[in-house]
Structure 1
Amino acid sequence: MPALDSGLILITGASGFIGSHTVKAALDSGYTVRVAVRTPDKGEYVKTLFPEYAESISYTIVENMDVKGAYDKAVEGIDGVIHLASPVDMRFEGPASDMIAVAVAGVVNLLDALALAPVKRVVILSSVASIGPVVRNEAQLDGKRVYTEAQWNDEGVAEALQLEAAASGRVKYAASKAQAERAFWKWFADHKPTFDGVSINPSFNFGPPTAFGQGIPSSVGIVVPWLKPGADANTLKQEFAGVVDVRDVAYASVKALSTPEAGGERYILSADTLFNNDLAIGATADKEANTAGLTRGNTDPAFRAELDSKAIVYDGSKAEAAFGFKYRAKDRTIAEAVEAIRKTRAGAL
């Protein structure tokens, strides 16, 4: 199958938490990178993150990815794409179908623009939200606890479209990711292009940001309440949809460009389960931190085992085997994020 280990690649959504790490991974791997951003300020921001690669990085403006023809100029002369741009607004109050429409249009407009480009492979950043629940719902789980790439979150899409504006932000987001990925694979089935596609489906991204220039990333922000006095110990058992280090996601997204057998495949990226308990432990483990008044997590192995026995698990082993790496341990990932936040005093902790 088509693959590439050099050349010019386009990375969309490059100014975000995952995007900036992905840009770095691509540059470190020897690619020349063109980033698609909404404004020149964001383009310049990304360039300032990597001054050592001044000759290997440029940017192009795509103001609205859901406008037909939005990517026509951006794809000129490129060899591959990593598409990360997608609406992420957990407070979105409009109908779920509106968020879905933007995410789907962004994918389709990009692929349409690539139809005549000399591209070899397109990697899309999807999510485990395309595969299974991001919010625990025992009725929907129906006994299922382990999810693989063979599954789709059709229940979440149905819930979002039934409730529309009344759906939660997480459910709307999950539906937009699922429908965007469905559109991705449908486009390939309908058009049968000369290039192929790969889907990367990460769980909750965590770890240290490349910079705090745009504030604390929303996913990393879930640890902030545990860095302050008063966090509710009654929520230690609250579960998130798995966890993966953002640097592992960036590595796998870039590696997917050059791995021949990856073409046409989906890959879950998930290292472990994640609970508020893990965040609380990480928030109070920093030796230099003043832990007075902070809510401590439960470090009893039996307590962790109890949580894991009931957890929703996203099996990320396929990606490890295909891309030849081992996930960073979640405890280290959380600790490095906490260290970065404390070091910069981001968020006025």
Structure 2
Amino acid sequence: MVDRPNKPTAIPVGSSTAVPAPQVDISSDNSSVTATLPSGDSVTVLLFGATVTSWKSAGGKKENLWLSEKAILDGSKPVRGGIPLVFPVFGPPPSDHATSSLPQHGFARNSRWEFLGKSTSESAGKGSAGDDSVTLDFGLGSSNLSDSAKQAWPFNFGLVYSVTLVKDVLTTNMTVRNEGTKPFECQVLFHSYLKVDDIANTTVSGLDSIEYVDKVNGASTQTETNKAVTLTGETDRVYKALKPEAKVVVKENGKPLYEVGRDNLDDVVVWNPWAEKAGGMGDFAPKDGYKQMICIESGAVSGWQKLDGGDSFEGAQIIKSVL
């Protein structure tokens, strides 16, 4: 599936005699991995769900991801906040599909992943003193699944999830491979909770003239007419078929806060539960925390990716934190 011949040893990684290098640490309970750049930027990934729970930029001073104060981090349920992974189905599975027996959003966010190792490079900044990029790789395959998940979705697959940290930029990349002979269909999405100061002062641009499915409005199909989308209530929209070069920009008080780009992912979900729905979630805290978050989720979810035996699908999300 996704094995590497040499599993990573206990880290931190770096050289005491060389120029500054990224530091990679595995938590004492082996539940998470944290990478820190010489600049102070950092990212933390929980092995349960391979969920990014923290991404700090601006020298480690700015937390970019919203994480519920009551997020469950012990592996008993998916994490509320950060960047949970959606695979092989987005939303409630359709009753007439091979994923019909799976839980909402599939099993990737409910499974423990393997840490496959790290790599570094200086490609992001010529002439800098030390490594300025680090990639953490995680793997999940059929053999890692619970018996119930295997029964619900009996296909042989391998996932490699790469989290790359560069100063002020976080890239999440998923590769899906059909390791068996039976074809299967899947969906992939990065469920990113971005942190804002006040949703009332937040707008989203880059979606003008894009067709979307409004899940709050009876799954009706609409076309976005606003150059700057504002959120004034529960929002759950799947914007479809964005151009590859299109950037979705989150602004606060008119100033760019995040730029979200995609590679081989055509869809963008905009989500916020608002007061009533947040109030009904036991792991959502504080209850008015919806005012400090907006989900901008890149994915391939408006249709299905069909993979024959040996085929692969790869897609990535690139988030830039703008100071």
Query: When you count helix as a share of all residues, which structure comes out higher?
Result: 1
Instruction: Please say whether Structure 1 and Structure 2 have the same fold, judged by a TM-score greater than 0.5.
Output: no
Q: TM-score, normalised by structure 2?
A: 0.28
Which fold has the larger relative contact order, with Cα–Cα distance below 8 Å and residues 6 or more apart in sequence? 1
Query: When you count strand as a share of all residues, which structure comes out higher?
Result: 2
